Amino acid sequence: MAPTVLITGSSQGIGKATALLFAQKGYDLILTARQADQLQTVAQELQNLGHSAPLIVTCDVKDPSQVKTLVEKALEYYGYIDVLVNNAGIYASGPIEQFSLSDWHQVIDTNLWGYIHTIDALLPHFLQRRSGTIVNVSSIGGKVPTAYLVPYCTSKFGVTGLTESLQAELKPKNIHVCGIYPNLIRSSFMDKAVFRGKDEEDLKNRREQLDNVLKAPVVEKPEDVANAIWDAVKNQKLEVMVGSANISQAFYRLFPGLIKWVSRQTLKNQDK
């Protein structure tokens, strides 16, 4: 029997790269995101590569009832789930006072509550089997506080706390929990990201700035994160910092004030 993995946000970017890698490693897949057409494209790509058809379930992770149905459908189809990869997320950038409460909710409800919803729905199955792996894709923004990314960092620090406290509790129950910490990754995340600015020019500059950084050859790829996720699952790691995130974390530990200052200077744009 092949092992199974449920990957949220697997229609593009890091989730899609993770799906392709886990299929290569012999896993059966449950793919989920909100848009069915993009999931179908990934499914077709997997089959063109000679892998078996994944189970596709559309689901908004913000909605606990949709997540419950997702897990029920996956268990009905495969009978068991071995690995959960919590990955669906959105990015948000701008001066703190420009974010509405609705922006805050969009970010926290997706990036943090979305992860809690899947864990809540799947944990009884893992506990009953006394086995299972939960991978939470956090971010370097869940370890290093960054100016102008306050809702995003809040959500990702939440994911870090969720991951580490689950580790503390679930280790004796044979449920492995790991956190993945990528730096900036060249995916298409900007398409769905929340950008806020003081005015149209600030907004445009913020987008352009990030777009330019993403073109730099040193920026890592979704496949680098997929490899980190595989490493965490295969080698039962508690956390994997992806490539350059190691450097960011090391600098923050050594010079916390300086790193906060650098983030302010780099991302402030027109803010005074």
> Does 18 help bind ligand NAP (rule: CB under 6 A)?
no
Give yes or no: 152 in active site. yes
> Does 187 help bind ligand NAP (rule: CB under 6 A)?
yes
Least distance from ligand NAP to the Cβ atom of residue 109, Å = 8
Q: State how far the Cα of 177 lies from the Cα of 124, in Å rounded to an integer.
A: 15
> Does 158 help bind ligand NAP (rule: CB under 6 A)?
no
Residues 6+ away with beta carbon under 8 Å from 54: 19, 23, 28, 29, 30, 31, 42, 43, 46
Least distance from ligand NAP to the Cβ atom of residue 31, Å = 9
Q: Per the structure block, which two tokens stand in for 65?
A: 């009832």
Burial of 148 (C-beta count, 10 Å sphere; 0-12/13-18/19+): buried
Report the site for ligand NAP in 189-218 (rule: CB under 6 A): 189, 192
Kindly state the number of chain residues that form the binding site for ligand NAP, as judged by CB under 6 A: 31
> Does 34 help bind ligand NAP (rule: CB under 6 A)?
yes
CB of 181 within 8 A of CB of 140?
A: yes
Residue with tokens 């990036």: 111
Of the listed 78, 115, 148, 152, which one is catalytic?
A: 152
Residue 253's CB: how many other CB atoms inside 10 A?
11
In angstroms, what CA-CA distances link 141 with 51, 54, 69, 159, 199? 34, 31, 31, 10, 25
At 59, give phi and psi (nearest 5°).
-165, 140
**Candidates 13-21, 74-82, 126-134, 204-212; binding stretch for ligand NAP (CB under 6 A):** 13-21
Report the site for ligand NAP in 60-99 (rule: CB under 6 A): 60-62, 87-90
Q: Per the structure block, which two tokens stand in for 128?
A: 């009953």
**Candidates 57-65, 74-82, 163-171, 253-261; binding stretch for ligand NAP (CB under 6 A):** 57-65
At 111, give phi and psi (nearest 5°).
-75, -30
Which of 184, 194, 203, 240 is close enough to bind ligand NAP by CB under 6 A? 184
Least distance from ligand NAP to the Cβ atom of residue 129, Å = 25
Report the site for ligand NAP in 116-135 (rule: CB under 6 A): none
CB of 54 within 8 A of CB of 19?
A: yes
**Candidates 92-100, 124-132, 161-169, 187-195; binding stretch for ligand NAP (CB under 6 A):** 187-195
> Does 236 help bind ligand NAP (rule: CB under 6 A)?
no
By annotation, the residues acting in catalysis are 152
Please report, as ranges, the residues that interact with ligand NAP according to CB under 6 A. Answer: 8-9, 11-15, 33-35, 38, 59-62, 87-90, 110-111, 137, 139, 182, 184-185, 187-189, 192, 222
